């Protein structure tokens, strides 16, 4: 059993204490799609239109359940296999076409998850290390981070494409720790997908699940330490306040 899974099961019902064991906090890691920004509707729209054009699923548009099960949070290689199990190359070509459509839509419509900039200030004020860790292709990741005004915020951007294994494997998150020179015992993660939460939990870190689009009961199957609606959720700020208190006690004692 991983540390974060056991903390979820054994912790008191008071969710504000769930992150306090990380004090003193060193780093915060973020997924990008659906975590920093509400991008899943744009991905869903792009896939739906392209699949309709080729008569996929008998011409019936893919619904949200199909999107969550086969696409959300996954690397394009895995999406290609899910959509075209007998023709991987065709699946890859479709995902490449979809990324072009997505970047056009994102340039026009991308919005941050509520409360993101307040959390950004909280992290900066404490001088914490931070990295973005994503299964998105580099052009997508860089575009989203730039559109959100976060290009100078992140110390590192770790891509599943540039690891031997993408999420749900823990490697991208372990690589982020290595690059930041941070300890998993003093770092936590924000994620919005089952795939991403599984990666963070497998890397041995607490994960805060953001229920932007994915349903909370699905995220809970991956054993996040805490779930919040967005970065403005009072549950998150209560947990951060407790973490601050614990960190200042540790500092004073040291």
Catalytic residues: 31, 33
The Cα 135–Cα 251 span in angstroms is: 36
- d(CA 7, CA 192) in angstroms, rounded, equals 19
Q: How far is CA 242 from CA 157, 183, 249, in A?
A: 28, 20, 11
SS3 of 37, please? strand
CB atoms within 10 A of CB 20: 19
CA dihedral 160, 163, 167, 168 (to 10 degrees): 170
Two structure tokens written together for 97: 């076409």
């Amino acid at each position: 059993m991983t540390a974060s899974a056991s903390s979820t099961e054994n912790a008191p019902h008071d969710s504000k204490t769930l992150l306090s064991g990380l004090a003193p906090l060193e780093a915060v890691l973020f997924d990008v799609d659906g975590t920093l920004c509400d991008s899943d509707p744009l991905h869903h729209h792009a896939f739906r239109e392209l699949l309709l054009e080729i008569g996929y699923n008998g011409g019936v548009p893919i619904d949200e359940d199909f999107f969550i099960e086969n696409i959300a949070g996954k690397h394009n290689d895995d999406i290609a296999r899910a959509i075209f199990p007998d023709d991987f190359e065709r699946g890859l070509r479709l995902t490449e076409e979809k990324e072009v459509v997505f970047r056009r839509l994102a340039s026009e419509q991308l919005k941050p998850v509520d409360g993101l900039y307040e959390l950004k200030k909280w992290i900066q004020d404490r001088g914490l290390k931070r990295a973005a860790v994503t299964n998105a292709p580099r052009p997508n990741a860089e575009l989203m981070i730039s559109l959100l005004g976060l290009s100078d915020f992140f110390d590192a951007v770790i891509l599943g494409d540039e690891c031997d294994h993408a999420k749900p494997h823990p490697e991208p998150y372990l690589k982020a720790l290595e690059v930041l020179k941070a300890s998993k015992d003093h770092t936590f993660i924000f994620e919005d997908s089952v795939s991403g939460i599984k990666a963070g939990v497998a890397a041995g870190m607490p994960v805060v699940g953001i229920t932007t689009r994915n349903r909370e009961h699905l995220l809970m199957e991956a054993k996040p330490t805490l779930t919040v609606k967005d970065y403005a959720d009072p549950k998150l700020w209560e947990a951060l306040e407790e973490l601050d208190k614990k960190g200042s006690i540790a500092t004073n004692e040291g």
